[in-house]
Structure 1
Amino acid sequence: MAPKKGVKKQTSKPDIPTGPRPSEILDIPESEQRRLIQQSELFKNAASLTAPELDRGPEADSAKAATLGDEIFNLFLLIIPFGSLLLMMDILIHQQYTQTPTFKGEVSRMTEMLPIFAILIFYTPPDRYKHLAFYQAFLFLISLSAGGRLIWVVNKSNYLRVMRQTPALATVWVYAVWELNLAAAVASLVLVGGWVWYTGLKMVF
């Protein structure tokens, strides 16, 4: 028999397994999502990359600790002019007493005095402690002591002690005044000058 017209033949479709919808997959509580992210390696890597940037502040960016090589280089930059001043003062004080300085004698005296002065410069760098009040007070006392002692030795001691002590005292005095702030340096010089005037000592000899 011929099939009847107008009647559609029903075909059976294979059963396709259906899983959860995308909205159901992503439907995870927020607390659970946070816990999963924290436990993942991705979170650890991101934290390790961003932690230095979070810890970095304006002071950490601007202030960098000087290495030992930089400090030694700065030491040489200062020891050259002040060592030259020390040598010049030693030569001048010998000329003052008509003593002819010899090369061997100058080398011997510089070998004795320069290491001590280098240690002083190395442990008192101007860019590290100059802004501190206690350091300025320390330099102020050094300036008063060195200046007063220098003038006292020149006026009251014999020529042997003058030749032995005045080069180092003069160099330390100049270094202390150079390290001081302007107001403190002027104040120390005024006090030394006032003490010299009060005691009747002479500034020159």
Structure 2
Amino acid sequence: MARKRRDKSPASIKLRHPDRDGPSEKTLLELAEQQGLFDKAQEREAALKPKTSTPGPGVATEEPDALPPIVERIFETLLWTISLSTLHFTLDVLVQNQYAAEISWPKIIGRAGQAFLVFGTLVYTLHTQPSSPNIIPLSLLSARYQPLLRQAIFFLTSVCSGCYLIHISNVYSYLAVMKQAPPIGCLWIWAVIELELPWAVSSLAIAGGFLWWGGYTIK
């Protein structure tokens, strides 16, 4: 027969303090450090990493995934040009509907394609780009005045295109309006967007004053 195990009573268990002495033998960390395993692991990790040259002080480092400046400029130009061409397409359709003209989609698409080429050239040349902040060579104008020149160009473009659009909409025949309003309207909107806020408000105020002074109406 199997004997039943008797549980010891708490009074029969002797109490004593735990052993607070350090380990009598070396630990795994000490053995690894003694064998130089940590140094070997660091050397192994350094050997697996690709060797990169450390730039000197004052040398700008480029991110490996960053696009070249010229590629960024082309992409930004395409973004602006596609947006302006789409706006030209929309304004062209709206003007045709306003005068109840028969819409010829091939002609509208063709004019939008022409606007794409024209605005692409203008945006690439005049739009503010981090890679090319200068609008003309530095030998002709200091970098300090380059942003002011750009703002002056867009300000004059905004004022002239806005006032001219108001004039032709009230004076010229519908055929002239249908032909000139879409590109002039796109040019006006783009110029205002490129301007800083004080310049943009001033150009719109001049256009509003021209509207009031000439006795024109918004059709």
Which TM-score applies when normalising by structure 2?
A: 0.62
SS at match of 1:201: coil
Identity %: 29
Offset, 1:65 = 9.7
1:185-196 alignment to 2 at 5 Å?
A: 185-196=200-211
User: For 1:71-96, what per-residue CA distance to the aligned partner results, in whole angstroms no more than 9, with x for missing partners?
Assistant: 11111211222211111000000111
Residue aligning to 1:180:
195
Mapped to 1, the partners of 2:103 and 2:123 lie a distance apart of 26
Unaligned residue ranges in structure 2 (runs of 5+): 1-52, 135-145
Mapped to 1, the partners of 2:67 and 2:111 lie a distance apart of 35
Offset, 1:111 = 2.4
Which TM-score applies when normalising by structure 1?
A: 0.66
* 1:83 counterpart letter in structure 2: S
Q: Please state if 1:154 is matched with 2:176.
A: no
SS at match of 1:53: coil
> For the structure 1 residues 81 and 114, does the alpha-carbon distance in structure 2 shift closer, same or farther, using more than 3 Å as the test?
same
Mapped to 2, the partners of 1:161 and 1:66 lie a distance apart of 44
Mapped to 2, the partners of 1:135 and 1:65 lie a distance apart of 25
Q: How many residues align?
A: 151
2:112 to 88, 110, 129: 110
Residue aligning to 2:122:
120
Q: Please state if 1:170 is matched with 2:149.
A: no
Residue aligning to 1:73:
75
> For the structure 1 residues 61 and 174, does the alpha-carbon distance in structure 2 shift closer, same or farther, using more than 3 Å as the test?
farther
User: For 1:50-74, what per-residue CA distance to the aligned partner results, in whole angstroms no more than 9, with x for missing partners?
Assistant: 9x62453xxx569x99532211111
| Residues 84 and 116 in structure 2, CA contact (< 8 A), matched pair in contact too | no
Mapped to 2, the partners of 1:175 and 1:185 lie a distance apart of 11
Alpha-carbon RMSD across the aligned residues, in angstroms, is 2.4
User: For 1:116-170, what per-residue CA distance to the aligned partner results, in whole angstroms no more than 9, with x for missing partners?
Assistant: 1111111122344498111101110000011011111111111111111100000
Mapped to 2, the partners of 1:65 and 1:139 lie a distance apart of 28
> For the structure 1 residues 66 and 191, does the alpha-carbon distance in structure 2 shift closer, same or farther, using more than 3 Å as the test?
farther
2:99 to 97, 100, 104: 97
Unaligned residue ranges in structure 1 (runs of 5+): 1-48
